[in-house]
Amino acid sequence: MMVQLLKVHGSQNQFFILDQTQLKNKLSDQERVDLAKHITDEKAGLLNGADGLLVIDSSDHDGALGSMEVINTDGSIASMCGNGLRTVSRYLSEKYGKDEFKVQTQDSDLAVHKEADLAAGVPTFSVEISPVSFNKESLPFDNFGVDKIIDQPIPEFGVGVHFTALAVPNPHLIGFGNFKTMKPDGLRVLGSMLNHKNKYFPDGVNVSFAEVEGPNTLFVQTFERGVGMTNACGTGMSAASLAFCLNKPGMAEFEKTITVYNPGGMVKTRVHNNDGDYTIDLIGNATFTHTVDIDEAALHANDLSDAEVEETNEQDAYDQFVGALDNGRF
């Protein structure tokens, strides 16, 4: 029986989507991890690979149209994926004909809704990023001698950079500085050092460098846990936006729209402060670039050799959207 996967992206953070409800027999945990590592591999995989596999399944939670599992390209499971959740939201919205609903994720059911297109031909969704925590146990982190890291220098991690650590709920370390003065390879070196189990972050951590470009305007680049350098990281940009509001109140405001540029384009965020209980809205594209038709048995066998790939016509519109961005970086 043929099954259709999608290749998608949120701000060019690329994923494959598999909707397990199509399958006669669902993939086992190991089959899903093996498939993720294979299909996203830039050489052995499909379409030069991707940053992860998003597995959709049914949900019996109130108001949820489905569930999302996030598998990084190295096979590790993440609790959340902001750019990916926008693409999953679009998939479920079109499957069920609804524009506002919830998606069940590992830690919580998150509110999502369709937004006005960011540009012609650029489907756009808003997704809730939460729960948020700064407690060391929630990332987790250790061996810094503190229970929270908020706007602090960590000399061994980078000179001229102030760091904030938070879980949204996947773990993020956000460094604010000036890309021109930061060591050019600083993000890659630090991201690689902290990517997997280490004495500071036992579960690894996503590392982002953020630069303030103006009032309510950031540029963020991320070295993702379990992936490496990506064009964008939705939870990373959301975490950076919250740190921006907390640490630079003169430049960023809660409840106001923040524009976050990244190497893959641009998203918008809005940080809500409910008496210290934070949630973030992440608004951005949900672009479907390819369909991938494959026999269910081949999926179980992790055999991609007969996969039939078709390109959609959506990337052109996204490229035009990026080309029209006016911050001088594109």
Ligand X SMILES: N[C@H](CCC[C@H](N)C(=O)O)C(=O)O
Interaction between residue 87 and ligand X (CB under 6 A) = no
Distance CA 81, CA 295 (A): 27
Interaction between residue 123 and ligand X (CB under 6 A) = no
Question: Shortest Cβ distance from residue 298 to ligand X (Å)?
Answer: 26
Interaction between residue 227 and ligand X (CB under 6 A) = yes
Cα 190 to Cα 194, 205, 303: the distances in Å are: 6, 10, 35
Residues that contact ligand X, how many (by CB under 6 A): 19
- 235-271 burial: b if 16+ Cβ within 10 Å, else e: bbbbbbbbbbbbbeeebbbbeeebbbbbbbbbbbbbb
For residue 206, say whether it is annotated as part of any ligand binding site. yes
**3 or 40: whose CB is closer to ligand X?**
40
For residue 235, say whether it is annotated as part of any ligand binding site. yes
DSSP characters for 148-182?
Answer: --SSEE-GGG-TT-EEEEEESSSEEEEEES-TTTS
**3 or 266: whose CB is closer to ligand X?**
266
Distance CA 154, CA 146 (A): 12
245 catalytic, yes or no?
A: no
For residue 137, say whether it is annotated as part of any ligand binding site. no
Q: Which of 33, 70, 233, 237 is catalytic?
A: 233
Q: Which residues, numbered 229-248, are part of the site for ligand X (CB under 6 A)?
A: 233-235
Q: Which of 3, 71, 81, 260 is catalytic?
A: 81
Interaction between residue 186 and ligand X (CB under 6 A) = no
The binding site for ligand X (CB under 6 A) comprises: 13, 51-52, 70, 72, 78, 81-84, 170, 206, 224-227, 233-235
Catalytic machinery residues: 81, 233
